[in-house]
Amino acid sequence: MYLLGKVQVLYQDESLDPVFLCGSNVEQTGRKTRPLESHVSFHLWWVWSFVTYATHATVSSHFVRQTRPVSTANVVLLPNLSVPTILSRTLKQGFRRLTKDLNYTLGRVLQVAEALQYLHNDAIPGAVVLHRDVRPDNIGLGHGDVVKMFDFGLSKAIAKGHSLVGEAGSLRYAAPEVSMALPHGDKADVYSWALLAWAVASGSTPFEGIGRSAFYSRVAIGGERPEVDPSWPRAFKTLLKDCWSGDPALRPDIAEVVVRMKAILHVSP
């Protein structure tokens, strides 16, 4: 299996034909794994797994022949490229620019929500893909400042209606149920999206200066949340508060988040 960057095999289908990818940071990690797809739809750079051969040279020699049949718009082939060359900067690095124009900022966080909507609802039929590490460091801005989500190292695919148990991701962006290693599902990504949206809009880091032990007592258990800017649109402030509710059942799903963000930005569905 060949992987590009920090990615993880979430799902395998042995009926798929092999695809080869050559990249400057490709490493051999296994054998006899059938490929999935590399998505760019809905603001995702999603590099999955590839059939392994004995040497990198063998993969290179097969690259052109094996990838010629791939023509779908949802597949991108990236020969001799690595993630940093595609993603010019992350949202974290772009805070200073982003916070100058709130509508621009909200447009970027809408794109993050659209990427999550694709993961939760469309990526794998009958399953939900949880990113589990939604934070500014894992969101890039490509050409035209189009948002690209990456780093699927902690991602998992689960059957709809099921849940996972265990900690994952950055503590300050993790939902309470995740930070306390309780069962969690797609609503955990919704919580993380809200913290990311707040961070990008405010230009600040959530819960900065709070230590790990205090985080559990004040945030995960006590329900402390960042203070929203009173100048932000009322609907946006309400959405953030809904999304970072301590009760996952009270959070909207990501599809509703997308609808509400488009209404805030007056974007046609």
Q: Which of 67, 85, 103 is the last residue of a domain?
A: 85
Confidence of residue 243 (pLDDT cuts 50, 70, 90): very high
Instruction: Let me know whether 32 and 153 are in one domain.
Output: no
pLDDT value of residue 236:
97
> Does residue 17 carry a catalytic annotation?
no
Which entry of 13, 101, 133, 229 is annotated as an active-site residue? Answer: 133
pLDDT value of residue 68:
43
Instruction: Let me know whether 233 and 149 are in one domain.
Output: yes
Residue 49 predicted with pLDDT over 50: no
Alpha-carbon distance of 254 to 248, in angstroms, equals 12
Higher pLDDT, 186 or 16: 186
| Residue 21, number of CB atoms within 10 A of its CB | 24
Percent of the chain with pLDDT over 90: 36
Instruction: Let me know whether 140 and 214 are in one domain.
Output: yes
Q: Which of 47, 69, 85 is the last residue of a domain?
A: 85
User: How many domains does the chain fold into?
Assistant: 2
At 56-74, the pLDDT tens digits run 344 334 433 433 443 333 2
Residue of 35, 70, 77, 69 whose CA lies nearest to 52: 35
pLDDT value of residue 96:
62
Q: Which of 26, 57, 85 is the last residue of a domain?
A: 85
Q: What is the pTM of this model?
A: 0.70
What pairs with residue 149 in β-bridges? Answer: 44, 139
Indicate the burial class of 100 (C-beta count within 10 angstroms; 0-12, 13-18, 19 or more): exposed
Instruction: Let me know whether 104 and 45 are in one domain.
Output: no
Mean pLDDT is lowest, of 26-30, 77-81, 236-240, for 26-30
Alpha-carbon distance of 115 to 128, in angstroms, equals 13
Residues 114-150: b if buried by 16+ CB within 10 A, e if exposed = bbbbbbbbebbeebbbbbbbbbbebbbbeeeeebbbb
Instruction: Let me know whether 81 and 108 are in one domain.
Output: no
226, amino acid identity? P
